[in-house]
A and B are shown apart, each in its own frame.
Chain A
């Protein structure tokens, strides 16, 4: 069975702090994809990143970075120098290689205070 666990339900930080959101996944597929989505207070789901199971290179995009480690089945997301606009619910998701259907974690609510 496939499963995504985001152990942190809520995180609160002060602006400019760095914050890491944890994601652990379970799958028996050899080909799979991992994702992060952001859901701001307005409610839409915004795609942030996709990684495939064969590419363990870490990725950086501006203040965002992602650390993919197959050995620990983790795909963690770090926001550097957090800003109030980063306040949102962040979802980690898993898709098997041949369907594309997403299994979501329960989400982590990030609150960045000024």
Chain B
């Protein structure tokens, strides 16, 4: 398996523009997580899905952020409008969760977002 695939790897955008980050989880995994990494706040969970359904979005900072998972092999994180303080590395991770527990989460390479 190719692992978790994120695109783009780097994104530079102007303040006010819409940004869409993409993630393809590992095939067979049924849980997907979006994390954000900044110097100030470290690694923080934004939202996670189980079986394509959003379970906990309490980490999503504002209404400007939205995430979707239309099917088991694709998820997006959208920021509209973007602001300079959104600059960070965004990671997508996936794992498998069953009735008797689950696997560890495997992370994508991350998307480094810079909003100028």
Contact = CB atoms under 8 A, between A and B. Distances in A.
Contacts of A64: none
A101 B91 contact: no
B105 A100 contact: yes
Nearest to A49: B104
Interface of B: 31, 33, 35, 42-45, 48, 55-56, 89, 91, 93, 95, 97, 101-102, 104-110, 112
Nearest to B95: A100
B31 A100 contact: yes
A45 interface: yes
Interface string A37-74: 10000011111001010000000000000000000000
A61 B97 CA distance: 25
A45 to B, nearest CB: 4
B43 A91 contact: yes
